[in-house]
């Protein structure tokens, strides 16, 4: 029997906007004193109304564009209704049938195309804290997080292994970081993962599909991968025992226990939720102008895959390029780009030295010029450009002379004082790392 | 001189200017009347303990600066679904009994900024679920014309406050008839602005897609002035319109209605309607003709479809809007919900459920679009549409008992204009059985100026704007 896992991913991302999704409270809630960043709107007080945050919508559209989605001309918010104490209004403002972005895709390194069903915007819930106070077990609610903008990315079930799922998640993570809309810190809950898994089992009779399982709220790529692995095995076993196939009513929800490394049932079909979605009457629908979308598209930063391709074009190994891009060290990337046309720096070597940690990149210095100087000086030390390497320096001097044919002619015509100028230029090209005497003798030799 | 409780806003300001009376005297006069009549009529649920202090401050301001605020020293009655800091706000529900708001609604804030004094909060159908004020968890308000009858609703308390002359003017809100219908039943002027013209921020939501705050007043001119103050875009309500607010007062006092085309809707003269009510509406049409307007009979969609649409949309929104009263906050658990509220939550929950959403909510929205298109077509030719507000006069106390569709049947003639988000004035046009009958003058969205102009012209040229003598009627 051939088993093909069918894995889809739902990813929730908290946006780092200044204010919350529907009110003016600060969105930055991490580590803040409970319930100090609330107002009538995010507390769901009677009479309070939501006003959408334009910046958050823009960020959602940018994410959609980065994931090659089409941006829907007409979009709206809906109410998703369920009861939970962390949900102040008794409903979450989300998007149901008209999300901002739909039908995108993302390529894995293997070239496999993973479909993105939709990218939509919603609001985060409050946070429950289960505590013992004065010997009594209590649950406290902190609404600081309530109403923080949350983007949901839903993939199609095109992933067929835990490794593919992990790669997909990493790529999403890098894209969001490159867009600068969130630092997607998993430990702070800024990125939450929910894989949906089932299996296609093929034998001589035909294909069978196991019931869908959604695994809730995972906050690490490794846990997501482990949970998927566990589910693949569990579902295959379960099917061999029960033979139960997927139906429209037997989707279940499971949690992941990181300690036991297994998944456990949270909600079965009997408890399936009916969210009673309907259009949010407090927020008029959006008509999204094509010109506005085009402007956003043009403003998109270089995305990780494009950046890797660009580095490869400069001659850097793909492996190194990927590590460089994923490390997200902007100064290192800029330095490589700046020196890509410099004749004395071998940027393939420079990239490899950075990737292998041979060149340490100062993190404290805020001046990127100083960091760049340090990178180059380390490179020169490591590659022994400078005092003794006459061969390397000769290249530099030749280039200096080649760029100043007029002055060379003057020197040869008798203006010997120009030797100092040539040495100075060569010194500049090596960022002051060359031995001046070696340079002077090279200038004299090459012009004699 | 007229007694203080009979003065319009303009007359109050004249009195202040001429030092005929002070604001303290006016407020005290209303408090005395409230003390005398409120126990019987059950209009006010809560009184502003600081009203006299605020009146004294107004008197000082008048001495120092004169009257340079539109509503300076005007005593108002406020429907209990507007959040008012310092005054309990319950929407006439037990679940919010004793609820003290943390912030002010945008429109009450605007009224205060214009210098108004709130006398107190008025009774209403609980959560505005009704057209009688009989579903209030704090007991019904009685009709000042005849205490055996209902005042209509849901803004029944605010309407009765004007009819009983227990405030100079009042604030109400309309979802479908909740201003016009009680205004008609107690014989006063009510005005529903276009949906999105006045902010809903801080109004305990009933049906979010139709709620419109508006005035209940002694005259169209008073209603126009209050609308002028409360209208306008609000950054806190995304459904308010950016269109500039017209000068409503400037449009009043027109000598005639020359050049206007008015439509009288045939279907709104219901077969079951009393013939004396029909005659009053036809007489009103003749009056408008005599004032120079062209009045023509037209045909519109049977109003019963509007009831179906409204019932589904409104119940759906109600079931969602009330889910925040989850029994965890606000002090009372969900058993404190009244019967009518529970009924609406259940119906709305059902119509939004998976499998039923398409059949009910989506279908209702499709019909709503049809109604909107139909009105848009009518307003290409006509300036206004007129008809009765209500099929008959105020019904007796107890009429809502075992009548879950009571409100919808009584609001049959106002629901279409509400779900289309139109603006509409309700003004008295006669009496049957000693009870007032109301005429509605409905105009296209954001045509407040025109609706007020026509209503004002009609009112100034008729003599139905009467007030009961409580010592006779009670």
Q: Which of B102, B316, B328 sits opposite A45 (nearest CB)?
A: B102
Q: Which pLDDT band holds residue B78 (cuts at 50, 70, 90)?
A: very high
Query: Percent of chain A beyond pLDDT 70?
Result: 96
Where would I find the beta strands (DSSP E) of B64-124? 75-79, 117-122
Instruction: Note the pLDDT of residue A363.
Output: 65
Min mean pLDDT across A428-442, B303-317, B442-456 is at A428-442
Task: Assess B317–A contact: CB distance below 8 Å, yes or no.
Answer: yes
Tell me if residue A115 falls in helix, strand or coil.
Answer: strand
Contact between residue B438 and residue B180 where contact means Cβ atoms under 8 Å apart: yes
Q: How far apart are the first and last CA of chain A?
A: 80
Q: What is the C-alpha to C-alpha distance for residues B378 and B267, in angstroms, rounded to an integer?
A: 14
Q: What is the C-alpha to C-alpha distance for residues B216 and B426, in angstroms, rounded to an integer?
A: 9
Instruction: Note the pLDDT of residue A425.
Output: 86
Please, which residues have CB within 8 angstroms of residue B35's CB and are 6 or more apart in sequence?
Answer: none
Which has the higher per-residue pLDDT, A13 or B414?
A13
What does the DSSP 8-state code read for residue B219?
A: S
Q: Is the pLDDT of residue A385 over 60?
A: no
Q: Is B450 annotated as catalytic? A: no
pTM of the model: 0.88
Question: Distance between alpha carbon A123 and the CA centroid of its chain, in Å?
Answer: 20
Q: What is the C-alpha to C-alpha distance for residues A368 and A83, in angstroms, rounded to an integer?
A: 50
Q: What is the C-alpha to C-alpha distance for residues A8 and A279, in angstroms, rounded to an integer?
A: 26
What does the DSSP 8-state code read for residue A204?
A: S
Instruction: Note the pLDDT of residue A394.
Output: 86
Instruction: Note the pLDDT of residue A269.
Output: 63
Q: Is the pLDDT of residue A271 over 90?
A: no
Q: Is B79 annotated as catalytic? A: yes
Q: For residue A22, give the nearest of A102, A80, A111, A92 by alpha carbon.
A: A92
CB contact under 8 A, B102 and A88: no
Contact between residue B222 and residue B189 where contact means Cβ atoms under 8 Å apart: yes
- What is the residue whose two structure tokens read 């403002």? A93
The domain that contains B92 carries what CATH number? 3.90.1300.10
Please, which residues have CB within 8 angstroms of residue A164's CB and are 6 or more apart in sequence?
Answer: A7, A108, A112, A114
ipTM value for the complex = 0.94
Question: Distance between alpha carbon B117 and the CA centroid of its chain, in Å?
Answer: 19
Instruction: Note the pLDDT of residue A264.
Output: 94
Q: What is the C-alpha to C-alpha distance for residues B162 and B155, in angstroms, rounded to an integer?
A: 11
* Mean of pLDDT over chain A: 90
User: What tens digit of pLDDT does each residue of A223-244 get?
Assistant: 999 999 999 999 999 999 999 9
**Alpha helices (runs of H) in A279-327, residue ranges in sequence order:** 290-299, 304-313, 318-327
Total of domains in chain B: 1
Q: What is the C-alpha to C-alpha distance for residues B91 and B333, in angstroms, rounded to an integer?
A: 16
User: What tens digit of pLDDT does each residue of B207-223 get?
Assistant: 888 899 999 999 999 99
Task: Assess A24–B contact: CB distance below 8 Å, yes or no.
Answer: no
| Domain limits for position B184 | 4-473
User: What tens digit of pLDDT does each residue of A145-166 get?
Assistant: 999 999 999 999 999 999 999 9
Q: Is the pLDDT of residue A361 over 80?
A: no
Contact between residue B228 and residue B245 where contact means Cβ atoms under 8 Å apart: yes
Query: Percent of chain B beyond pLDDT 70?
Result: 99
Token pair of B153 as six digits: 């609703």
Q: Is the pLDDT of residue B252 over 90?
A: yes
Q: Is B158 annotated as catalytic? A: no
* Mean of pLDDT over chain B: 95
Task: Assess A315–B contact: CB distance below 8 Å, yes or no.
Answer: no
Instruction: Note the pLDDT of residue B352.
Output: 93
- Residue B350: closest C-alpha in chain A: A276
Instruction: Note the pLDDT of residue A283.
Output: 97
Q: Mean pLDDT throughout B133-138?
A: 94
Instruction: Note the pLDDT of residue A416.
Output: 83
Q: Which pLDDT band holds residue B158 (cuts at 50, 70, 90)?
A: very high
Identify from A82, A87, A146, A276 which residue to disrupt to test chain B contact, counting B C-beta atoms within 10 A and taking the largest count: A276
Task: Assess A410–B contact: CB distance below 8 Å, yes or no.
Answer: no
Q: Mean pLDDT throughout B335-345?
A: 92
Q: Which chain B residues are closer than 8 Å to A86 by Cβ?
A: none
Instruction: Note the pLDDT of residue B1.
Output: 83
Domain ranges across chain A: 2-296, 304-447
Cis peptide, bond prior to residue B154, ω within 30 of zero: yes
Instruction: Note the pLDDT of residue B155.
Output: 97
Q: Is the pLDDT of residue A270 over 60?
A: no
Q: Which pLDDT band holds residue A390 (cuts at 50, 70, 90)?
A: confident
Q: How many helices (H) and strands (E) does chain B have?
A: 15, 11
Q: Is the pLDDT of residue A61 over 70?
A: yes
User: What tens digit of pLDDT does each residue of B253-287 get?
Assistant: 999 999 999 999 998 888 888 999 999 999 999 99
Instruction: Note the pLDDT of residue A384.
Output: 62
Instruction: Note the pLDDT of residue A40.
Output: 97
Q: Mean pLDDT throughout A132-150?
A: 96
Q: What is the C-alpha to C-alpha distance for residues B120 and B364, in angstroms, rounded to an integer?
A: 38
Rg over CA atoms, chain B: 21
Q: Is the pLDDT of residue B404 over 80?
A: no
Q: Is the pLDDT of residue A432 over 80?
A: no
Task: Assess B242–A contact: CB distance below 8 Å, yes or no.
Answer: no
Please, which residues have CB within 8 angstroms of residue A409's CB and are 6 or more apart in sequence?
Answer: none
Instruction: Note the pLDDT of residue A388.
Output: 57
Cβ-in-10-Å burial (0-12, 13-18, 19+) of A223 comes to middle
Please, which residues have CB within 8 angstroms of residue A344's CB and are 6 or more apart in sequence?
Answer: A385, A392, A395, A396, A429, A430
CB contact under 8 A, B102 and A283: no
Instruction: Note the pLDDT of residue A386.
Output: 54
Contact between residue B72 and residue B13 where contact means Cβ atoms under 8 Å apart: yes
Instruction: Note the pLDDT of residue A314.
Output: 87
Instruction: Note the pLDDT of residue B260.
Output: 98
Instruction: Note the pLDDT of residue A387.
Output: 53
Q: What is the C-alpha to C-alpha distance for residues A90 and A40, in angstroms, rounded to an integer?
A: 14
Q: What is the C-alpha to C-alpha distance for residues B474 and B468, in angstroms, rounded to an integer?
A: 10
* Candidates B154, B212, B251, B418; catalytic one: B154
How far apart are the CA of A51 and the nearest CA of chain B, in angstroms? Answer: 6
Q: What is the C-alpha to C-alpha distance for residues B98 and A275, in angstroms, rounded to an integer?
A: 32
User: What tens digit of pLDDT does each residue of A6-30 get?
Assistant: 999 999 999 999 999 999 999 999 9
Cα separations in angstroms, B341 against A213, B181, B240, B320 = 38, 20, 27, 12
User: What tens digit of pLDDT does each residue of B345-381 get?
Assistant: 999 999 999 888 888 999 999 999 999 999 999 999 9
């Amino acid at each position: 029997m051939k088993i093909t896992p069918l894995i889809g991913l739902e990813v929730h991302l908290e946006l780092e906007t200044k204010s919350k999704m529907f009110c003016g409270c600060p969105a930055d809630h991490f580590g803040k004193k409970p319930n100090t960043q609330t107002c009538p709107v995010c507390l769901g007080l009677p009479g309070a109304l939501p006003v959408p945050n334009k910046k958050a919508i823009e960020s959602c559209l940018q994410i959609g564009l980065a994931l090659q989605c089409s941006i829907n001309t007409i979009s709206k918010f809906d109410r998703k209704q369920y009861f939970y104490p962390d949900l102040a209004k008794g409903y979450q403002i989300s998007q149901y049938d008209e999300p901002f972005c739909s039908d995108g895709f993302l390529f894995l390194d293997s070239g496999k195309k993973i479909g993105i069903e939709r990218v939509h915007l919603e609001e985060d819930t409050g946070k429950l804290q289960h505590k013992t106070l004065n010997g009594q077990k209590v649950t406290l609610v902190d609404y600081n997080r309530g109403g923080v903008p949350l983007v949901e990315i839903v993939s199609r079930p095109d992933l067929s292994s835990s490794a593919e799922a992990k790669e997909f998640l990493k790529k999403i993570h890098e894209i969001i970081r490159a867009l600068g809309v969130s630092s997607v810190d998993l430990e702070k809950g800024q990125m939450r993962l929910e894989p949906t898994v089932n299996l296609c089992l093929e034998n001589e009779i035909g294909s069978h599909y196991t019931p869908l399982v959604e695994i809730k709220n995972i906050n690490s790529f490794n846990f997501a991968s482990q949970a998927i692995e566990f589910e693949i095995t569990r579902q295959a076993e379960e099917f061999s025992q029960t033979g139960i196939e997927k139906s429209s009513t037997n989707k279940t929800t499971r949690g992941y226990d990181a300690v036991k490394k297994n998944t456990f049932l949270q909600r079965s079909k009997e408890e399936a939720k009916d969210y009673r979605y309907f259009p949010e009457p407090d927020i008029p629908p959006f008509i999204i102008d094509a010109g506005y979308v085009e402007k956003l598209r043009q403003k998109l930063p270089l995305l990780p895959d494009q950046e890797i391709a660009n580095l490869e074009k400069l001659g850097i190994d793909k492996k190194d390029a990927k590590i460089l891009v994923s490390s997200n060290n902007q100064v290192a990337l800029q330095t490589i780009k700046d020196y890509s046309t410099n004749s004395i720096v071998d940027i393939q070597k420079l990239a490899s030295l950075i990737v292998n940690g041979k060149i340490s990149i100062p993190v404290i210095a805020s001046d990127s010029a100083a960091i760049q100087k340090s990178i180059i000086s380390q490179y020169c030390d490591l590659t022994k450009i400078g005092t003794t390497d006459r061969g390397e320096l000769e290249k530099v001097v030749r280039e200096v002379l080649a760029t100043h044919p007029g002055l060379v002619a003057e020197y040869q015509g008798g203006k010997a004082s120009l030797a100092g100028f040539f040495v100075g230029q060569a010194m500049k090209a090596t960022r002051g790392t060359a031995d001046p005497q070696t340079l002077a003798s090279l200038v004299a030799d090459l012009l004699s | 001189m007229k007694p203080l409780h009979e003065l319009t806003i303009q007359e109050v300001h004249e009195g202040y200017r001429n030092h005929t009376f002070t604001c303290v005297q006016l407020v005290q006069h209303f408090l005395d009347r409230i003390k005398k009549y409120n126990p019987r009529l059950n209009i006010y649920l809560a009184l502003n303990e600081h009203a006299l202090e605020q009146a004294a401050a107004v008197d000082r301001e008048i001495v120092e600066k004169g009257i340079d605020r539109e509503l300076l020293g005007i005593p108002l009655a406020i429907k209990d679904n507007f959040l008012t800091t310092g005054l309990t706000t319950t929407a006439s529900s037990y679940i919010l009994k004793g609820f003290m708001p943390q912030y002010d609604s945008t429109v009450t804030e605007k009224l205060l900024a214009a210098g108004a004094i709130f006398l107190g909060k008025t009774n209403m159908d609980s959560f505005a679920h009704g057209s009688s004020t009989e579903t209030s968890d704090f007991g019904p308000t009685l009709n000042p014309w005849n205490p055996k009858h209902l005042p209509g609703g849901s803004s029944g308390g605010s309407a009765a406050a004007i009819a009983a002359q227990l405030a100079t003017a009042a604030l109400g809100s309309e979802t479908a008839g909740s201003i016009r219908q009680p205004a008609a039943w107690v014989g006063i002027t009510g005005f529903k602005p276009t949906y999105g013209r006045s902010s809903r921020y801080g109004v305990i939501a009933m049906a979010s897609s139709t709620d419109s705050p508006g005035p209940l007043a002694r005259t169209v001119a008073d209603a126009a002035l209050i609308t002028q103050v409360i209208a306008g875009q609000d950054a806190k309500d995304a459904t308010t319109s950016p269109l500039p607010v017209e000068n409503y007062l400037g449009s009043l006092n027109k000598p005639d209605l020359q050049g206007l085309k008015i439509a009288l809707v045939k279907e709104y003269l219901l077969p079951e309607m009393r013939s004396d009510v029909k005659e009053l509406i036809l007489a009103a049409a003749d009056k408008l003709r005599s004032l120079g307007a062209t009045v023509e009979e037209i045909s519109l969609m049977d109003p019963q479809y509007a009831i179906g649409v409204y019932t589904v949309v409104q119940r759906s929104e109600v079931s969602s809007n009330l889910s925040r009263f989850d029994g965890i906050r606000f002090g009372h658990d969900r058993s404190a919900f009244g019967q009518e509220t529970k009924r609406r939550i259940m119906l709305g929950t059902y119509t939004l459920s998976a499998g039923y959403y398409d059949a009910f909510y989506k279908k209702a929205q499709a019909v709503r679009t049809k109604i909107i298109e139909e009105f848009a077509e009518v307003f290409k030719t006509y300036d206004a549409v007129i008809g009765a507000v209500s099929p008959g006069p105020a019904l007796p106390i107890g009429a809502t008992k075992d009548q879950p569709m009571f409100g919808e049947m009584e609001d049959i003639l106002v629901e279409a204009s509400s779900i289309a988000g139109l603006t509409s004035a309700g003004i008295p046009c006669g009496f049957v059985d000693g009870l007032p009958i109301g005429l509605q003058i409905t105009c296209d969205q954001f045509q407040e100026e025109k609706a007020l102009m026509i209503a004002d012209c009609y009112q100034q040229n008729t003599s139905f704007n009467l007030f009961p003598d409580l010592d006779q009627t009670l």
